Amino acid sequence: MKTTMAKQILGGAAAAIAICTMMATATLVRAQGPGEQPIAKRMIAGKEWTVSKGKEPGTFDVHWGDESMTWRPKPWYEDKYKEMGPAYYAQWDDPKLPFPFDVPLEERHKLSAEDIINRSVGVQYLGAPYFKNGWDRGTVLVYTPAGAVRQRMNILELATNFVGGKNLEYLPSAEQGEVQQKYVWALIEPTELRYQGGVTTVPMDKTRRPTDTLYLPTVRKVRRLAGSVSQQYFPGSLFRYEDSPHVRPLPELEYRIVGFSLFNPDPKLRGYGDKDMPDIKRVDSAGDVIVKIEIKPKAGVSWWYAKREWNCSMQMLQYTYSNEFDATGAQIRYAVHSGKTGSVCHIGTPDGPPAPDWYQSWGSLSAQEFVSGYSLDGWEDVCGFDADVKKNIFSEETQMRQPQTLTEWLQ
Amino acid sequence: MVWLKCSLRPRYRAATIVLFSVALSTLSMAARAHACADLSSGADPSDLRLCIEYYGSNVFRLPNVTRTLWNPAIGGLETKHADGVVSQRNEVRIIADWIPSKHLDEKLFGGVPVKFHIELRPWWDAAYSLTGWGQGQYAKYLAPFWENNLEGLQTYSDPIFREYYADISPENFFIRVGSQIISWGKSDGIYMLDILNPFNYRTLGVFNEELIKIPVWAINANWSPSAGNTLQFVYEPVYFPSQYPGQHVREGGYHDWTFGSVNYFNNIFNQFGIPLQDRRMPDFGIDNGTYGVRWSSQIGKVRYTLNYLYGFTPFPIYRPNTGNTLTGTQYSLEPHRIQVAGGSFDYSLATDNWLDGTVIRAESSVTNGNVYYEGTFGQPKHVTNWGMLLGIDKYLLSEVLEKPVFASFQYWHDMVLNGTHCADCGPESGDYIDIGFQGSPSGMRGPYKSLLTLFLDKTWLPGDTLDTQFFALYELQFHDWFLRPSATYRFNDDLAFTVGTNIYAGGKQTPYGEYTNLTNLFFEIRYQLL
């Protein structure tokens, strides 16, 4: 085990060195003062994207075509991100990087809407093939319209990606070649749902929905959930399964790219404000170009929204925010997402070394529901990759053990 | 709150004081903490977590009826008004998990991951402490068995120390040793393979599996040679019989949930003299253990289990020393060895039509060595019976409703494969006494018995804070019903209320129809103290 971990760490370090070298030669033109030559330059969606130092210390001016914005550091930005600004995104434009970053940046706007979703939130939440497993302990707080905490959810998560025949030791032989990803979770809180858990299986067949099992601790039984639960609330939260873990494009919905723009996060939105989750270090893709995707239910399908505006950054391939509307056009919800990069996550164990910077984990997700007035914030308390977990981590046995700590979770 | 005005009998004051002390102390802790408490500390902390919850359940009879019961004071049957208070259970649930620190684990267990779990449930049913009300009228006969678990027999059937076990997890193994609940099978509320734990039928109709399973001492070892494949071995060294009201003859039929058949025979025994009972419970030992083996795996998208159990009948078998059940002068009371072989599977349909996502699940078992009471004399006879359950789960109206209705339908049957027509079983030989039997053939089942269940669940409001449920059971041969609508509202993480009714209908001697006069309204509260 130690040998394997050492190889992973060395591999990660080598990748990080390679990326830093690449960044130094390809993106960091030179550090200069305000108004001078850009320190990063790219072609995104057919237009030039540049970053130069801003007038105020710590800020950066970003231009993309006719659009521009000033990038300002936020208290909760990761340290390297805070230092490098939008130039930090350049590390995800490297042809040597594996899926989902294997498509050159200047070509990414040609990807289909479904492919973009699959490459962004699809792997950031449910595991990418470049690591054995991604894991975390997360917290979700649900607030009443008055701002009081109504519910607190604490969760253990782990996900693995099997694309390309990877990580098959975690997969029953009957499912090999059939399953793209697996995700297992167990609740620590709310206390009423303590020990509850489940497994989501994402099939390779893109026309099929994810399937789920649910462990009911009161009767010590694992039940297979009937049909798609994508619209339903995930236990203990106001997130829906569609927010996580049913994040891959769903067969009930239509996806369409409607445009691109330079992303300037609105600090009034929950999750983007300076005081929002200040201790949760993360990256919000500010100053990147985002692709705007419109999601609608297919004809004859009743969904919890009539239209969803869903946005994804082009360099980091990060789901940024979404707006949901009902059939009358009234907004019923928005959600805001920021990711964590490897630098604030760990390899192997919660106290393990940091992962390579370009690794990504889900980070944080906030939402505001307008009909009920409820809102919520969710975040990773601890995140990591490549834990030496049991081969049958996605089985009923994991649920029967009723894990309550990361120590147990990663044994 | 009429019942609070009633006086408590002195003999129960001690228990009451203890329980209230626990409740008060936990309430005081609740003022300082929220949700479960993480008590870990130090540089290399062990994980120690403590949770405390209050659970209250109040059941009130709805029909205004009378009951005819044996009255030892007059030496005969007496008809009295049945009051409304059926049950007022107060329960404190204390759960603690401890995982030794890495350092401690290496020092004590050689680095093999170990976890300890303990769950305490002191409880007190206030209904028995009410003088002249409901079940309190019969407290003299019932309280020793059903009032609390701080004294008396409940220390085994509904114990304070409910579950306490160690989880040991070496590579590819998961071993749980101690008092525990072990579930098998894919059915809900019907138990064919899922008989590793005995049951406490103190509230037969409440239908809450969480409350009725009795923990057993067991070694529960699981070996996973590869992902998705697990071989489970269970060893239970001590036999625990299932419990039911009236199992002690002096309880008569006083307990509201006494089976009709138990009430019938208790009345006979009380009238004509309680026969001697020779209890022959299996002793602790390798020869008297219960052994189970289960293989869990997957073929394609079908998850399945193969199960085998070498155990005992859930209830000890009454055998008369001579003649039949009615003429015997002495009875032996002894469980009989059974062998249960069976399996279960579930499968989710993947189609391009409205059936997509429908879950089909099934469970089947053949039990050899079982004992049914045959004929109206109720002679114990060995049978081999085949049980089969087919379940279908699906979300309904998902095209119309944002929050669709979860529906679960089950068909179950039990078939005696080696039916006999014995000479000493009295009338209706070939048929078997069912739980509602009170002397007439209408309380008997044939070799084939079947039923249907339907469960509907719909959530409402943001965060699914309101949960409405409906359960229906219909027996195809007995034509009796059990209906249970309920609604639960969760105020927050810590507080939830449930209100509902248990409605019974059918013939007086049918398994559920016998409780028609016990149709009730119930309230439950769960409050997280720590």
pLDDT tens-digit readout, B296-311: 999 988 999 999 999 9
Strand partners, A313: A290
Domains: count for chain B: 1
Report how far residue A57's alpha carbon sits from residue B528's, in angstroms, rounded to the nearest whole number.
Answer: 50
- Where exactly are the structural domains of chain A? 107-409
Mean per-residue pLDDT, A368-373: 93
Which pLDDT does position B21 carry in this prediction?
A: 46
> Which of A169, A221, A405 lies at the smallest CB-CB distance from B227?
A169
Closest B-chain CA to A171 = B227
Percent of chain B as helix, strand, coil, to the nearest 5? 15, 45, 35
Report how far residue A240's alpha carbon sits from residue A376's, in angstroms, rounded to the nearest whole number.
Answer: 12
Report how far residue B346's alpha carbon sits from residue A26's, in angstroms, rounded to the nearest whole number.
Answer: 54
Closest B-chain CA to A369 = B462
Which pLDDT does position B34 carry in this prediction?
A: 42
> Which of A171, A191, A300 lies at the smallest CB-CB distance from B227?
A171
Which pLDDT does position B155 carry in this prediction?
A: 65
CB proximity A169 to B under 8 Å: yes
Helices (H) and strands (E) in chain A, counts: 6, 18
The minimum CA-CA distance between B396 and chain A, rounded to whole Å, is: 10
Report how far residue A2's alpha carbon sits from residue A28's, in angstroms, rounded to the nearest whole number.
Answer: 37
Q: What is the ipTM of this complex?
A: 0.86
E strands, A45-192, in order: 47-53, 60-64, 67-71, 134-143, 149-161, 179-189
CATH number at residue B412: 2.40.160.10
**Sign of the C-alpha dihedral, residues B323, B324, B330, B331?**
positive
> Which of A169, A192, A407 lies at the smallest CB-CB distance from B526?
A192
Which pLDDT does position B526 carry in this prediction?
A: 94
Report how far residue B500's alpha carbon sits from residue B485's, in angstroms, rounded to the nearest whole number.
Answer: 6
**Cβ-defined contact of A392 to B400 (cutoff 8 Å):** no
Which pLDDT does position B130 carry in this prediction?
A: 79
Which pLDDT does position B399 carry in this prediction?
A: 75
Percent of chain A as helix, strand, coil, to the nearest 5? 20, 35, 45
Q: Decide: A167 and A161 in contact? Cβ < 8 Å.
A: yes
> With bands split at pLDDT 50, 70 and 90, how would you rate the model's confidence at A322?
very high
Range of the structural domain that residue B353 is part of: 2-528
Pairwise pLDDT comparison (A296 vs B143), residue with the higher score: A296
Closest A-chain CA to B400 = A302
What are the residue ranges in chain B where pLDDT is below 70? 1-35, 38-45, 131, 133, 152-155, 205-207
Report how far residue A368's alpha carbon sits from residue A153's, in angstroms, rounded to the nearest whole number.
Answer: 17
Strand partners, A368: A334, A375
Which of residues 284 through 343 in chain B touch A, CB cutoff 8 A? 296-301, 303
Helices (H) and strands (E) in chain B, counts: 6, 27
Q: Decide: A310 and A320 in contact? Cβ < 8 Å.
A: no
**Sign of the C-alpha dihedral, residues A124, A127, A129, A135?**
positive
Q: Decide: B477 and B446 in contact? Cβ < 8 Å.
A: yes
Q: What is the pLDDT of residues A94-116, one digit of tens each?
A: 989 999 999 999 999 999 999 99
The minimum CA-CA distance between B139 and chain A, rounded to whole Å, is: 31
> Token pair 């990361």 is at which residue?
A406
Residues of A in contact with B173 (CB under 8 A): none
Which pLDDT does position B343 carry in this prediction?
A: 97
> Token pair 């019961």 is at which residue?
B69
Q: Decide: B288 and B462 in contact? Cβ < 8 Å.
A: no
Residues of A in contact with B494 (CB under 8 A): 191
Q: What is the pLDDT of residues A142-197, one digit of tens each?
A: 999 999 998 899 999 999 999 999 999 999 999 999 999 999 999 998 888 889 99
CB proximity A301 to B under 8 Å: yes
Which pLDDT does position B20 carry in this prediction?
A: 47
CB proximity A68 to B under 8 Å: no
Which of residues 382 through 411 in chain A touch B, CB cutoff 8 A? 390-392, 394-397, 400-402, 404-405, 407-408, 411
Which pLDDT does position A330 carry in this prediction?
A: 97
Which pLDDT does position A101 carry in this prediction?
A: 95
CATH of domain A107-409: 2.50.20.10
- Give chain A's length: 411
Cα dihedral A14→A15→A18→A20 (10° resolution):
-110
